[in-house]
Structure 1
Amino acid sequence: MKKQAVAAGFVFLSFMLPLRVSAASFDKFYVFGDSLSDTGNVFAATNGLVAPTTAIPQNPPYFQGRFSNDRVWVDYLGDRLGLKPSPYITLNPTIPNQGINFAVGGASSGQGNAVVPNAPLPGVLEQVALLTQPIIQANQKLDPNALYAVWGGANDYVFGQATNAKQTVQNLSNAVGLLASSGAKNILVFNLPDLGKIPFASATGLSSNLTALTNDHNTRLAEELDKFTKNSDLNLISVDVFSLFNQVQANPGKFGFKDVTNPCVVGNFQTIISVCSQPNDYLFFDSVHPTTGAHKLVADAALAAIEAKSVPEPAINLGILALGAFGAVGMLKRHQKRSAFGSVGRVVDAQLSHTTVEN
């Protein structure tokens, strides 16, 4: 009876194995980007910790250094991963054990800042260098069990007068390559939503131009990222924000929005004219930045992309099921043959390992 129970247990465990595993386990979370990912760097750099109502962005109506009415995708995804990266400008001398957010509002894809050009604020590629350069000089490697996120490019087109996406995408590709060559294994990369559909575009008559630049950017970015697929050690995770925002704007009620065209804030993050009474009804908080509800959807999309990379191969699942079934049949047959000679008790320990995204 004991062997029958063990055999039945193998079958039970085989069918209980999940086909989709929950979010991967990472030990740190590093973020590189612009205002869509900034959780307080520009705010701290413009004296927001002392005078929040005159900082960039103003608090209120902006939320604690975020360019939104509440938390942004970094906060939401961090909650799901159990990690809270610290803004790099407010860091103590010691590196936080949960990661760093290097993202800066207004950051260009490469060097400098498209919104505050005279401030010493790093672009996306420069942000990556802030982390990797000390590692390289010390002849060390980045943490292979950390998650690294890269999202940028919008400022190049909206404020930086870029006329095509070639250099912008190359900057982002170089950022991913620098992370990978420095030891990063798990890298999230986001494409851009249709910039021609943001309120700023319609207000300035730039909708068609920004849509064309967005399409060029996303096509080139996909091509660049495809080059990294030859690196079997790299877990490159793409997040399709373009499709997500198109779905929301095509069917806003499904996602809880009432207005996906106009901004809640009239003015900008420095000069506020008026603020709507129900920001969460809007997709856009101001003429460029989404509300916290949109950020939550971005975090959900990122988490889904991470989990999709954690799905075991179908052949592995079928193999485990087959192994459980054949093992059960074999054990039952052996039990029948040996029943006349008595049974010998044996304890068998089986350890099932969860699939995670790691080195």
Structure 2
Amino acid sequence: MLNSFQTINPYLDPDVNTASENSQIDAFLNYFQSNEQHKRYRSFTQLFVFGDSLSDASNTFMLTKKELRQGLPPTPLYLSGRFSNGPVWVEYLARFLKLPSHCHINFAASGATTGDANTFPIQSCGLPGLKQQLDAFITSLEGESADREALYILWAGANDYLGNNVTNPTIPIANLMNAVKLLLTIGAQQIMLVNLPDLGNLPKFRKNSRISATLNALTTAHNAALAGAIEALCQEISSDTVDIILFDVNSLVKQIFTQPGKFGFTNVLDAEMISVAKFEGYTERFLFWDVIHPTTFTHLTFAKTATSLLIPKMTLVQQPR
């Protein structure tokens, strides 16, 4: 049993399954199948996900629905309990890894910090921080070791800075490293951590130069500390059987901002939800769905890059550019 958390189906729900996203997925899978270098990308038995709203595939919706009789985020603005207009990146990733629904276990919840706090506005629903998510996972093992052939994903930190008033990355990075060490202790061997995109460039903060600069400075410090901590941990454990992979989403998003057309985007500054409400932007491809969260097309782009990092010939730790 996974307590109040649920197993997420990585295959797209009918109401968020668009022809455009499906054609992108099919083309990407065909590329991997036809490319000799990529035919040997890693095979995983399961996918376990821990984090915040960027990876939440409806846990927050189910917990708030139980408490409030109406799940958040609200439909139809957000589809199927995701903080986006479709599936989030780990759902696409599970599909790329060809994992059936019962092999994709998602503990992520909106508002989760790297510790035991949760910044979601409604506290009565018992939404967890990263620490509680890991505790729930360990409880579900019932004393058994973690699956050594599974992939474990950790993506948290944004809420430490945006909602928990953290002004120094020392504690968030320590929390993330403690989470990694805990997973290693119970038997996990393949762990992916994700750094942060520049928080000051989110539509919510971009137009306030002071706040934007402060958040981007925090992001830079966080990502540098995370990369250094991962490198130090890899040297410390010095194991040929353990892979700790850093997904440098920050560099990816910077590339999207610089060359949006290369990645299929036409608008990287505005929130699609707001533009649609104003009857604008119907033909545009947006980076952001609301003032904080990405569109499902952006999540698909994240998943493609994450999948590419799982090719055996890639180095153990991907350093930010």
Common fold by TM > 0.5: yes
Residues 56-95 of structure 1 aligned to structure 2 (within 5 Å): 56-83=72-99
Q: Which residue of 2 aligns with 1:131?
A: 137
User: Do the aligned residues in 1 keep the contact of 2:199 with 2:212 (CA within 8 Å)?
Assistant: yes
Deviation at 1:129, TM superposition (A): 1.9
Q: Which residue of 2 aligns with 1:331?
A: none
Q: Which residue of 2 aligns with 1:42?
A: 60
Q: Which residue of 2 aligns with 1:246?
A: 254
Structure 2 residue identity aligned to 1:127: Q
User: Do the aligned residues in 1 keep the contact of 2:113 with 2:130 (CA within 8 Å)?
Assistant: yes
Q: TM-score, normalised by structure 2?
A: 0.79
Measure the CA separation in 1 of the matches of 2:163 and 2:100. Answer: 30
Deviation at 1:275, TM superposition (A): 7.3
* Between 221-230 and 181-190, the greater mean CA deviation after superposition: 221-230
Cα deviation 1:297-341 (Å, max 9, x = unaligned)? 11011101111xx1299xxxxxxxxxxxxxxxxxxxxxxxxxxxx
Q: Which residue of 1 aligns with 2:221?
A: 216
Q: Which residue of 2 aligns with 1:107?
A: 112
Instruction: Extract unaligned runs of 5+ from structure 2.
Output: 1-34, 316-321
Measure the CA separation in 2 of the matches of 1:62 and 1:163. Answer: 31
User: Do the aligned residues in 2 keep the contact of 1:109 with 1:152 (CA within 8 Å)?
Assistant: yes
Structure 2 residue identity aligned to 1:56: L
Measure the CA separation in 1 of the matches of 2:284 and 2:146. Answer: 38
Identity %: 37
Residues paired across the two proteins, number: 276
Q: Which residue of 2 aligns with 1:28?
A: 46
Task: Select the structure of larger CA radius of gyration.
Answer: 1
Change (3 A) 1:185 1:280: farther
Match of 2:179 among 172, 175, 180: 175
Structure 1 residue identity aligned to 2:99: L
Cα deviation 1:111-136 (Å, max 9, x = unaligned)? 1211236231111122112112454x
Measure the CA separation in 2 of the matches of 1:28 and 1:22. Answer: 17
Structure 1 residue identity aligned to 2:242: L
User: Do the aligned residues in 1 keep the contact of 2:94 with 2:104 (CA within 8 Å)?
Assistant: no
Change (3 A) 1:113 1:222: same
Measure the CA separation in 2 of the matches of 1:303 and 1:218. Answer: 21
CA RMSD of aligned residues (A): 2.6
Instruction: Extract unaligned runs of 5+ from structure 1.
Output: 1-16, 86-96, 314-359
Cα deviation 1:234-271 (Å, max 9, x = unaligned)? 1111111000000000111111211111112239xxxx
Q: Secondary structure at the match of 1:127?
A: helix
**Greater relative contact order: 1 or 2 (C-alpha under 8 angstroms, separation 6 or more)?**
1
Structure 2 residue identity aligned to 1:246: K
Measure the CA separation in 2 of the matches of 1:55 and 1:204. Answer: 31
User: Do the aligned residues in 1 keep the contact of 2:84 with 2:293 (CA within 8 Å)?
Assistant: yes
User: Do the aligned residues in 1 keep the contact of 2:194 with 2:248 (CA within 8 Å)?
Assistant: yes
Q: Which residue of 1 aligns with 2:245?
A: 237
Measure the CA separation in 2 of the matches of 1:48 and 1:296. Answer: 29
Q: Secondary structure at the match of 1:46?
A: helix
Q: Which residue of 2 aligns with 1:118?
A: 123
Q: Secondary structure at the match of 1:30?
A: strand
Deviation at 1:108, TM superposition (A): 1.0
User: Do the aligned residues in 1 keep the contact of 2:120 with 2:127 (CA within 8 Å)?
Assistant: no
Q: Secondary structure at the match of 2:187?
A: coil
Structure 1 residue identity aligned to 2:313: V
Measure the CA separation in 2 of the matches of 1:134 and 1:287. Answer: 35
User: Do the aligned residues in 2 keep the contact of 1:264 with 1:279 (CA within 8 Å)?
Assistant: no
Q: TM-score, normalised by structure 1?
A: 0.71
Change (3 A) 1:280 1:122: farther
User: Do the aligned residues in 1 keep the contact of 2:200 with 2:216 (CA within 8 Å)?
Assistant: yes
Q: Secondary structure at the match of 2:65?
A: coil
